[in-house]
Amino acid sequence: MKQIYEDPASVGHRPSVRALAAGSVGNFIEWYEFGVYGYFATVIAERFFTPAGGGTVEGLVKTYASFALAFFFRPVGAALFGRLGDRIGRRPVLILVITLMTGATALIGLLPTYATVGVLAPWLLTLLRVLQGLSAGGEFGGAVAVMTEFAPPGRRGLYGAWQSFTVALGLLGGAGVAAALASVLTEAQLSAWGWRLPFLLALPMGLGALWLRLRLDETPPFREQTETAETLPARDVVWAVALGAGRVMGWAAAGYAFLVVLPSYLQTALHATFREALAATVLANLGFAVTIIPAGVLSDRVGRRPVMLTGAGLVVVLAVPLLNLLQDGGSSTSVKGLAVFLAGAVVGLMAGPGPALLAEMFPTRVRCTGLGLAYSLSNAVFSGCAGLIITEAVKRTGNVDVPAYYAAAACAVSMLALFKSGVGKAGWTDAGDRPDVGDVVRRH
């Protein structure tokens, strides 16, 4: 095989810690906010989507519908900002998206509620969620491109894993803030104004992220690519995007089912208290965080796909038994805690190698657009809709095993996509099944 596209690990530049921090900090803020929105879903439903006399479950479904709508704007943001990132550079796009993301998140904390402005309240919230979806769509492609393009040879899996690790930190940060507020405020105070504070905290976080990105250098592969560098035919890019989305759909579905939707599910389906649900979520996210970096490192040695296949397979096998442990009134608190910790840990096996695997499926010239679209399309369908699908399905069927079936089914399909070799009609293939090769190559 002859490699004809740039390999970002081979450009010989020493990786920049500043670039790693600048690339990952936006992911922290993005997932901190998405976590906060999920953790406070029941409060947001009451404040914005439940008029006087409205049903609690109905309001929660509408809350998750707004949540899902934002995710469907992610592919739009990935296409828009990804194209800019591939044309004018990663740095200016990362500056733009962090500004948009921070502003929209902070404004949520200032919105008037349904009791104040009536039906205008849910529309204003949904508009800000749309802006967040656009910025998040551009964030992933640019951030992963920066991390992997600065990675030294043999460490792209590790560097890409930091994207997922900061996702875990963001979710944990959101859970920590929510738990702290729940411990110092009464339920009435939390519902009246306390829920605003986590969103307002995004403003100082965003200013710090902006400062880091203003000092960021452009990546070596982007600077060194030539105007005549060969790129993939459009049909092969479309195929790679579809295949990439399939490969990470299990990560997307299981991640949101176990890490974000869990609090509301425990409260509405299993009648747990808000604090109990948050404690379970913290344990799940701790399990998620613990396995991400080791999974990324392992993928640099044995390949991306074997590690991701292991994670997806474990979800298929363990999802229902782990959920049944949570439902069992006779199970001890420690056993239930271990169950949610393990649920998060198996998702981390997919999230660790995932960013590097996607980055290796596209050459430099289309990397931001391609990997951003693959990730955002998968998240739009299988993450953004997770809360809506699970809540509505439990409501209609009364079957409390729905979250486990949802995660297991998505991971089963993801396993099929991971087994599929990334060969396009023009004869190219990605090297994500082998360690430390990464980038698109053409077979001769």
Report the pLDDT value the prediction gives residue 304, as an integer from 0 to 100: 94
Which of 57, 46, 73 shows the shortest CA–CA distance to 384? 73
Cα torsion through 200, 159, 261, 116, rounded to 10: 20
Q: Tell me how far the alpha carbon of residue 17 is from its chain's centroid.
A: 22
Report the pLDDT value the prediction gives residue 10, as an integer from 0 to 100: 41
pLDDT at position 233 over 80: no
**Cα three-residue angle 16-21-26, rounded to 5 degrees:** 140
Q: Which helix (H) or strand (E) holds 348?
A: helix 333-351
Percent of the chain with pLDDT over 70: 84
Report the pLDDT value the prediction gives residue 424, as an integer from 0 to 100: 42
> How does residue 352 score in pLDDT terms, banded at 50, 70 and 90?
very high
Span 330-344, pLDDT tens digits: 778 788 888 889 999
DSSP output for 315-329 = HHHHHHHHHHHHH-T
pLDDT at position 403 over 80: yes
Contact between 16 and 217 (Cβ < 8 Å): yes
Which of 19, 202, 180 shows the shortest CA–CA distance to 98? 202
pLDDT at position 291 over 90: yes
Report the pLDDT value the prediction gives residue 2, as an integer from 0 to 100: 36
Of 351 and 65, the one with more pLDDT? 351
Strands 428-429 and 441-442: antiparallel
Domain limits, the chain: 8-222+231-442
Bridge partners (DSSP) of residue 441 are 429
Return the axis-axis angle of helices 17-39 and 202-214, rounded to nearest 10°.
Answer: 160
Span 120-140, pLDDT tens digits: 888 888 889 889 889 988 999
Report the pLDDT value the prediction gives residue 444, as an integer from 0 to 100: 32
What's the rounded mean pLDDT across residues 208-230? Answer: 80
For the chain, state the CA radius of gyration: 21
Measured from the Cβ of residue 231, the count of other Cβ atoms closer than 10 Å reads 16
> How does residue 248 score in pLDDT terms, banded at 50, 70 and 90?
very high
Report the pLDDT value the prediction gives residue 55, as an integer from 0 to 100: 53
Please, what CATH class does the domain formed by 8-222+231-442 belong to? mainly alpha
Tokens in use for 315?
């979800």
Per residue in 362-375, is it b (16+ CB within 10 Å) or e — as a string? bbbbbbbbbbbbbb
Q: Which helix (H) or strand (E) holds 52?
A: none
| Per-chain mean pLDDT for the chain | 82
pLDDT at position 349 over 90: yes
Which ranges of 269-303 would DSSP assign to H, the alpha helix? Answer: 274-302
Span 170-182, pLDDT tens digits: 878 888 888 888 8
298-302, 350-354, 382-386, 420-424: the lowest-pLDDT one: 420-424
* Angstrom distances, CA of residue 1 to CA of 208, 218, 433: 45, 30, 15
Provide long-range contacts, Cβ within 8 A and 24+ apart, for 14-19. 14/152, 15/150, 15/151, 15/152, 15/155, 15/159, 16/150, 16/217, 18/212, 18/215, 18/216, 18/217, 19/146, 19/147, 19/150, 19/216, 19/217, 19/219
d(CA 45, CA 60): 5
User: What is the pTM for the complete model shown?
Assistant: 0.81
What's the rounded mean pLDDT across residues 48-73? Answer: 68
Report the pLDDT value the prediction gives residue 7, as an integer from 0 to 100: 44
> How does residue 289 score in pLDDT terms, banded at 50, 70 and 90?
very high
Report the pLDDT value the prediction gives residue 353, as an integer from 0 to 100: 96
Report the pLDDT value the prediction gives residue 201, as an integer from 0 to 100: 93
pLDDT at position 219 over 90: no
**Local structure of residue 437 (DSSP, 8 states):** T
pLDDT at position 232 over 80: no
**Cα three-residue angle 390-391-397, rounded to 5 degrees:** 85
CB within 8 Å of 38: residues ≥ 6 apart:
67, 174, 256, 260, 261, 263, 264, 387
> How does residue 435 score in pLDDT terms, banded at 50, 70 and 90?
very low
Report the pLDDT value the prediction gives residue 198, as an integer from 0 to 100: 92
pLDDT at position 41 over 70: yes
**Local structure of residue 423 (DSSP, 8 states):** B
**Local structure of residue 190 (DSSP, 8 states):** I
What's the rounded mean pLDDT across residues 186-194? Answer: 86
Report the pLDDT value the prediction gives residue 423, as an integer from 0 to 100: 43
SS3 403: helix
